[in-house]
Amino acid sequence: MANRAGGCLCGAVRYELSGRAQMDLSCYCRDCQYVSGGGPAHAIVMLSKDVSITQGEPNEYWTVSAKGRRVTRVFCDKCGTPLFARNEKLPQYLAVKVGSLDDPTVFEPQANIWTKSAQPWHHLDAAISRFKENPELGVAAILEFLRSSAVKLGRLFGKRRGTGASGEARDKGSGPGQAAGE
């Protein structure tokens, strides 16, 4: 994601991204639901050093997460547009809010996190890995990645066979946080 830019609704704050994204994710925690107006926060995780504010000065609001970590949300204090989020324990990363990008079509979600807080009306695509909280590296994460990969492969084969699977198929039978085996 070299040379991408974004900013707030009123144009008071602008930023540029260099380097590549570390991960694209959607967070369903209650704090993100508050900030987004009810939905998940869609974010592209970047190295902090790869994000440069080129115009204006955003404001910050600090909270304590469900895990007990201090988290800041960075926003335009003129129009309120959410721009970034950062965890105090991981200052080397910055979550860039997808809606603030000039071209949000670059977002390709790889994981849904904090799905245990997802609302019953949130739709979780079975082809995207999902985690009840923050993903922990290990066997459970590998199994979840394999499960979501199997769904993607099934859609691909269904599309090629002409069985009507459209690649846009949705996981209509699962609720928030339901992963394989739940």
CA angle 24, 27, 29 (to 5 degrees): 165
Two tokens at 143? Answer: 């199994």
Query: Cβ(165)–Cβ(106) under 8 Å?
Result: no
pLDDT at position 163, please? 55
| Domain annotation covers residue 132 | no
Contacts of 73 (CB under 8 A, 6+ apart): 31, 35, 60, 61, 63, 82, 84, 85
| Domain annotation covers residue 38 | yes
pLDDT at position 178, please? 38
| Domain annotation covers residue 83 | yes
Domain extent, residue 64, equals: 4-109
Q: How far is the C-alpha of 33 from the C-alpha of 42, rounded, in Å?
A: 11
| Domain annotation covers residue 120 | no
Report mean pLDDT in 10-residue bins for the chain, 182 residues: 82 96 93 92 95 96 88 96 94 95 94 94 91 81 78 79 50 40 35
> In which order are the strands placed within the sheet that holds 82-87?
59-64, 70-75, 82-87, 93-97, 41-47, 23-27, 111-113, 129-130
| Domain annotation covers residue 173 | no
| Domain annotation covers residue 92 | yes
pLDDT at position 3, please? 59
| Domain annotation covers residue 154 | no
How long, in residues, is the chain? 182
| Domain annotation covers residue 49 | yes
State the total domains in the chain.
1
In CATH, what number is assigned to the domain containing residue 14?
2.170.150.70
Q: Which pLDDT tens digit goes with each residue over 90-107?
A: 999 999 999 999 999 999
